[in-house]
Chains A and B, each alone.
Chain A
Amino acid sequence: MAGLTPRIRSMPYLILIGRLVISATFILAALPKIQDPAAFAVSVEGYRMVTANLAMWIALALPWLELVTGFGLLIPQIRRGSALVITLLLAVFIALHASAWARGLDINCGCFNAHESEKTPDYFWLILRNIGLLTACIFVLIRDWQHWVRREDTSTS
């Protein structure tokens, strides 16, 4: 981590691009699901991890959390918290896809659109994409953390 820190500090444009890509991804993923939570609930149920009632609550709240954190990543006052929530969400998504893949489930991913085609998702691609986003998010999180620590140091000295 010690060797990584100066390198992250030296690539602000890459961090900015990463931040914009993650933000756009989460906002675009959230909007169709907010418009049709019932269809998204069916996708959530497809993972066979929660009851129908809990799936409906998840389908109701998760898209709003994605939207808020997607925008939040661009708002200085909440960008650290947003980056942390997105990191956790991506880790959960990766675990869910891996679990569904291992169980051979033929599900609708529910990632961007509740009405996605009903063919078996390409789990390898889904997991790879989320690992890419997770890596970018960890870099953004480290950068925001460094920024916050520097600001705290300046204000105390």
Chain B
Amino acid sequence: MLREFCIILLLTVIGVAYSLVSGLSPLPSESPELEAGEIRMADAKALNAIWVDAGGTNEFEERHTPEALLLGEDDWDTGLFELMNIWLIEPHPIIIYCESEGCGKSKRIAERLRESLPDAEIYSLKGGSAAWQD
């Protein structure tokens, strides 16, 4: 029986190797360039989007883009009300950013916002506000 399992395993490994070598599949360890719900700065700039800063008030005052709204986790209701006032009048895509690629806040806010505004087109900015400054 062990011999049978070894043959099955060997054939499966050969198949997987074929998929990788032939280019049918990317290496699973390579993270995709864009995760679901993310957008690049170049694409974001091409959209007439509503910009949302996911940072706290202090961070917002330091770095926000001129037309950005603040929608932090601490003051969710006020930020959401302000955002909805704008989005309901002009339903543009909404792009959320935080300070850097790894901050994760923009993705959390985007997730939460998708539940509050299921009809809205919502992205988190790849690279965070650092990408905005580049």
User: How far, in angstroms, from A5 to B19 measured CA to CA in the complex?
Assistant: 41
- The reply to whether A64 and B5 form a contact with Cβ atoms under 8 Å apart is no
B130 within 8 A of A: no
Interface size class of A (residues with CB under 8 A): 20 to 34
For residue B28, CB closer than 8 A to chain A, the reply is: yes
The total number of A-B Cβ pairs within 8 Å is: 58
Residues of B within 8 A of A80 (CB): 1, 4
Q: What's the Cα separation between A17 and B29 when bound, in Å? A: 41
Q: How many residues of B contact A (CB 8 A)?
A: 18
- Tell whether, in the assembled complex, residue B28 and residue A64 are in contact, meaning their CB atoms are under 8 Å apart: no
Chain A positions within 8 Å of B29 at CB level: 53
| Distance from A142 Cβ to chain B, minimum over Cβ atoms (Å) | 15
- Asked if A82 is at the interface of the complex by the 8 Å CB criterion, the answer is yes
B28 & A60 in contact (Cβ 8 Å cutoff): yes
Complex Cα distance, B29 from A45, in Å, reads 15
A-B contact pairs, 26 of them (CB 8 A): A34-B15, A34-B19, A35-B24, A37-B19, A37-B25, A56-B25, A56-B28, A57-B28, A59-B25, A60-B16, A60-B20, A60-B25, A65-B8, A67-B15, A68-B11, A68-B12, A72-B8, A77-B4, A77-B7, A78-B7, A80-B4, A81-B1, A81-B4, A81-B5, A81-B8, A84-B1
Leading 10 A-B pairs by shortest Cβ distance: A81-B4, A64-B15, A56-B28, A37-B25, A68-B11, A78-B4, A57-B28, A64-B12, A65-B12, A81-B5
